Amino acid sequence: MGSSERQDFDTAIESVLREEALRPVPPTLARRVKQRIALLTLIQREQSRFRYALSAGIGVFAAVLIAGVALALLTGIPTRLVGDVPGAMGYWDYVKIEVVLSLPLVLGVVAILFALPAGAILVTALWPSRKPADKFHDPMAV
């Protein structure tokens, strides 16, 4: 589309719009726009607070975990456990063998526990609903 065609197109649109009567603005338009802006502001504020709280929680958890590991290593707890506690390594061997022997049972239980909610989610997501979803629902509409 060339420059002259675009100019002709703009002129045609302006001439049609000049003939069109202006409709009055609804009296509730400003109030509804302000409500929507306030709602969006609250949503964004809540999202940023959630991100901050989540990152702070992860940071505190990581700091406590690192401090605990550092404290255990600095005080020599693993070395003392091996050398000073009688039967500690024997108990550790027992735990490893029990975990390996019970692994098939545990995997079966875990598979069942994950399969039931996953199946329910799939059925819910794939089942056709009787009422079509309203994609453009306006929560602020009166």
Structure confidence by residue, pLDDT tens digits, 52-86: 999 999 999 999 999 999 998 898 887 777 777 78
Q: Is residue 104 part of a domain?
A: yes
Domain that holds residue 104: 86-127
- In-domain check, residue 99: yes
In whole angstroms, give the CA distance from residue 77 to residue 108.
36
More confident position, 22 or 117 = 117
Q: Worst-scoring range by mean pLDDT, 31-40, 46-55, 79-88?
A: 79-88
Residues with Cβ within 8 Å of 82's Cβ and at least 6 positions away in sequence, in order, are 88, 89
CA atoms within 13 A on the CB side of 81: 11
70 in a structural domain: no
Is the residue at 34 inside a domain?
Answer: no
Structural domain tally of the chain?
A: 1
Q: Is the pTM of this model over 0.85?
A: no
pLDDT in tens, 3-28: 777 778 888 888 888 887 888 888 89
Question: In this structure, is residue 15 part of a structural domain?
Answer: no
DSSP state of 25: P
